[in-house]
Amino acid sequence: MSSERRRGTGPLKLLVAVSEMVPYAKTGGLGDVAGALPDALLRRGCDVRVFLPCYRIVRERTREMEAVLDKVRAPLGGVSLEASILETRTEQGVPVYVVEREDLFDRPNLYGTSAGDYYDNLERFAFFCRAALLGCAAMGFAPDVVHCHDWQTGLIPPILGDLFPEAGSVFTIHNLGYQGLFPADRLPATGLSADRFFHPEGVEYWGRISLLKAGIVYADAVTTVSPTYAEEIQTPEFGMGMEGVLRSRRDVLSGILNGADYARWDPVIDPHLPARYGPGRMAGKARCKKALIREVDLDTHLEQRPVIGVVSRLDRQKGLDLLIGILDELFSLDVGLVVLGTGDAGIEEALRAAGERFDGRMALRLGFDEPLAHRITAGSDLFLVPSRYEPCGLTQMHAMKYGTVPVVRATGGLKDTVSAYDPGSSRGTGFKFFEPRPRALLEAVRLAVSLFERRDSWERLRKAVMEADFSWDESAARYMALFEDLRTRRQPFRSGSGRPPARRSSTEP
Ligand code: ADP
C-alpha cells in the first residue's frame, strides 16, 4: 500500500458483491438498492466495481458483455473450478463484473423455484464469493473496502483477509428473515476450517451454518437499511434469533435508509405509464387511474372512489393476511383494490378466492410484472404496505413520488419514511397503524378514505406526499462516510486468521 493510500486519500476503491442488481436481475428491494447505490457512489467520486452472478436472465437481458477474464479458478469443496468474468457497465459507467459458470448460475431463477430453494445454494454462493475476490485480485484491483449484501455474500468477511488483508468489510442486512442456513456437514463447501470458524462465536448457528451470521460476525461494520430496523433487530420480537449476535455487534451496527431510484421511479419520465404527470400537472394521474381501472377490469364507477394498490412479495412478512381479514368491511367503504404479487401458495390461493368473491371491486394479478407495478403505483389513490416487519420498504417511497398516499404499518423503514397524517394540523405524509391486526389496518384505511372525500384536504396531503424526497444522495453520502472511516481506521495489517477483530460475547440468542 502506498503511503498516500495509507493516509486515506485518493478515490476510495470499493468492491460491491451482490446477488441481484437492477436492471440485470431482481427479486426484490435488494436488486433496486444494488442498481442505484453504486451509481450514487460513483457520483461521489468512489472507484466502485460490482460483482454479480451470471444468471440466465443476466445473459438474456445484457447484450453487451465482454469477457475480461477467461479462466479464473476458485476452490469449491476441495476442487478447483473455473469461471469466466464478463464485464458490462451501468448507465453511469460503473463496471459490473459478471461471474459466469453455467452449471451453477444458468438457471431459470435466481435462488430457487416454487418447490423451494435450489439444493446447492450454499455451493453456488460460496463459489461466487471466492470467484469475486479472486477475480478482483487477477484484475489487479485491490479494494479499500468490500461492501457485501445479505447472506449470499456473507462468506466474504471471514475470508477477505486471506487475499486482501488491508481491506475493510461492510455487511448490509436487507432482510433478517433470510439467514443462509445450511447443514453443518456442508461446511467444506465454504472452505472455512471447522476449528477456526464453526463455533458459536463464528458461523455456527444452533448446530447449522449461517452465512448471514458469518457476515454479521466477521464484517468490520454492519449496516441495515433503516435506523428503526437497526434498533428493532436487536430485540427478540424482530431479531429472528439473531438478536444476541446483533447486540454483541451494536458498536459497529447502524441503519442507513435506502433511497428510491428516481431514474426509474418518477411519473414525469416513467415510460410504463399511459400518461405522465408530476407536481403541478396532475391530469395525467387521473388518466393513469382510469386506464388502470380498465386494464384490470374494475367497475368504472370506481373512477370517483379511492382505488387502493398493493405491489408485494406474497410472504407472511408482508401482512397481506391482515388485508384478507377485512375485505368485507373494506368494500363496504366502496373502494377498489388492485393487488400484484407472487410468492407463498397459500396467500396466492386466499387472494384468488377473494378476487373471485369481490369481482369488479378487487383485481388480482399473480406474477412479477415490473411495468404493471408502475401502472398500479401511478393509477391508485392509496398504497397499502401492512408489513409485520419491513427493513426499509421501497414501494411506499415509490408510491409517494407518484402522489399515491401510503397506508403502512409503523415498523422499520415504513416508520422512518411515512409521517402520520394529523387531522388537526393537516400535516403528515400518510396513514399508519401500529398493532399488526386487521382492525388496526381497517381503521387506518377508514381515516384515509374519509380524507379522500374531502377534496381540498386530500389535494394538500397529496402535494405533501409528492414533496417527500428519498433520493439516494444523502444515503450514499452516509455510506461514503462509513467507507472512508473504515479506510482511515483500518490498520495496515490484518491478522488473516479469520478471527473476529474484537471481543465477542455469546452469539446465542
Ligand atoms: P422486498 O425487498 O421485501 O420485496 P421492497 O419494498 O424493499 O420489498 O422492494 C420490493 C421491490 O420489488 C419494489 O421495487 C417493488 O415494486 C418490486 N416488486 C415486488 N413485487 C413485485 C411484483 N409482483 N411485480 C413487480 N415488481 C414487484
Tens digits of per-residue pLDDT, 332-363?
A: 999 999 999 999 999 999 999 999 999 999 99
**Interatomic CA distance for residues 114 and 303, integer angstroms:** 36
Q: List the domain boundaries for the chain.
A: 3-259+484-504, 283-467
Higher pLDDT, 396 or 495: 396
Confidence of residue 142 (pLDDT cuts 50, 70, 90): very high
pLDDT score at 115: 85
Vertex 408: Cα angle to 234 and 474 (nearest 5): 65
- Take residue 324 and report the three cell numbers written for it: 384478507
Beta bridge partners of residue 182, listed in sequence order: 209
pLDDT of 108 strictly over 90: yes
pLDDT score at 351: 97
What is the β-pairing status of strands 431-433 and 47-53?
A: unpaired
**Interatomic CA distance for residues 1 and 487, integer angstroms:** 12
Atom of ligand 1 nearest to the CA of 174: 2
Which residue, 436, 338, 443, 344, is CA-closest to 390?
436
**Interatomic CA distance for residues 160 and 15, integer angstroms:** 11
Atom of ligand 1 nearest to the CA of 318: 3
| CB of 272 closer than 6 angstroms to any ligand 1 atom | no
| CB of 395 closer than 6 angstroms to any ligand 1 atom | yes
CB 203 within 8 A of CB 195: no
pLDDT of 181 strictly over 70: yes
**Does the CA dihedral 314-386-285-272 come out positive or negative?**
negative
pLDDT of 1 strictly over 50: no
| CB of 370 closer than 6 angstroms to any ligand 1 atom | yes
pLDDT per residue as tens digits for the range 424-477: 999 999 999 999 999 999 999 999 999 999 999 999 999 999 999 999 999 999
Pocket test for ligand 1, best of 311, 384, 390 (most atoms within 8 A of CB): 311
Over the Cα atoms of the chain, what is R_g?
23
**Interatomic CA distance for residues 61 and 54, integer angstroms:** 11
pLDDT score at 64: 87
Phi/psi of residue 141, nearest 5 degrees: -100, 110
**Interatomic CA distance for residues 139 and 359, integer angstroms:** 58
Q: What is the pTM of this model?
A: 0.93
**Interatomic CA distance for residues 180 and 150, integer angstroms:** 9
| CB of 381 closer than 6 angstroms to any ligand 1 atom | no
pLDDT per residue as tens digits for the range 368-417: 999 999 999 999 999 999 999 999 999 999 999 999 999 999 999 999 99
**Interatomic CA distance for residues 251 and 282, integer angstroms:** 47
pLDDT per residue as tens digits for the range 261-279: 999 999 999 999 999 999 9
Check if 3-259+484-504 and 283-467 are the same fold. Answer: yes
The beta strand positions in 129-278, using DSSP E, are: 145-149, 168-173, 181-183, 204-205, 208-210, 221-224, 253-255
pLDDT score at 492: 55
Q: 221: helix, coil or strand?
A: strand
Q: 203: helix, coil or strand?
A: coil
Atom of ligand 1 nearest to the CA of 367: 23
Mean pLDDT of 168-175: 98
pLDDT score at 348: 96
CA of 301 to the centre of ligand 1 (A): 29
Burial 236-273 (b: 16+ CB within 10 A, else e): eebbbebbbbbbbbeebbebbbbbbbbebbebeebeeb
Of all protein residues, the one whose alpha carbon is nearest to atom 12 of ligand 1 is: 28
For residue 335, how many other CB atoms are within 10 A of its CB? 20
Atom of ligand 1 nearest to the CA of 313: 20
CA–chain centroid gap for 112, Å, is 18
Vertex 165: Cα angle to 163 and 167 (nearest 5): 100
Pocket test for ligand 1, best of 19, 30, 32, 176 (most atoms within 8 A of CB): 32
Non-local CB neighbours of 140 within 8 Å, separated by 6+ positions = none
| CB of 342 closer than 6 angstroms to any ligand 1 atom | yes
Query: In the chain, what is the greatest distance between 2 CA atoms, to the nearest angstrom?
Result: 71
Beta bridge partners of residue 338, listed in sequence order: 309, 363
CA of 383 to the centre of ligand 1 (A): 13
pLDDT of 7 strictly over 80: no
**Interatomic CA distance for residues 407 and 72, integer angstroms:** 49
pLDDT score at 391: 98
Of all protein residues, the one whose alpha carbon is nearest to atom 15 of ligand 1 is: 395
CA of 313 to the centre of ligand 1 (A): 6
- Take residue 10 and report the three cell numbers written for it: 485518493
For residue 98, how many other CB atoms are within 10 A of its CB? 26
Non-local CB neighbours of 455 within 8 Å, separated by 6+ positions = none
The beta strand positions in 420-488, using DSSP E, are: 431-433
Residue type, 440: A
pLDDT score at 8: 59
| CB of 369 closer than 6 angstroms to any ligand 1 atom | yes
pLDDT of 3 strictly over 50: no
The single-letter DSSP state of residue 419 is P
CA of 253 to the centre of ligand 1 (A): 25
| CB of 394 closer than 6 angstroms to any ligand 1 atom | yes
CA of 50 to the centre of ligand 1 (A): 22
Beta bridge partners of residue 310, listed in sequence order: 339
pLDDT score at 493: 45
CB 316 within 8 A of CB 345: no
CATH for the stretch 283-467:
3.40.50.2000
CB 80 within 8 A of CB 73: yes
CB 317 within 8 A of CB 280: no
| CB of 143 closer than 6 angstroms to any ligand 1 atom | no
- Take residue 152 and report the three cell numbers written for it: 449470499
pLDDT score at 504: 32
CA of 170 to the centre of ligand 1 (A): 24
For residue 117, how many other CB atoms are within 10 A of its CB? 12
Output the average pLDDT for the chain.
94
pLDDT of 5 strictly over 80: no
| CB of 28 closer than 6 angstroms to any ligand 1 atom | yes
**Interatomic CA distance for residues 38 and 309, integer angstroms:** 30
CA of 133 to the centre of ligand 1 (A): 29
The single-letter DSSP state of residue 421 is P
Pocket test for ligand 1, best of 27, 57, 342, 368 (most atoms within 8 A of CB): 368
Q: 3-259+484-504 has which fold?
A: Rossmann fold (3.40.50)
Q: 9: helix, coil or strand?
A: coil
CB 317 within 8 A of CB 177: yes
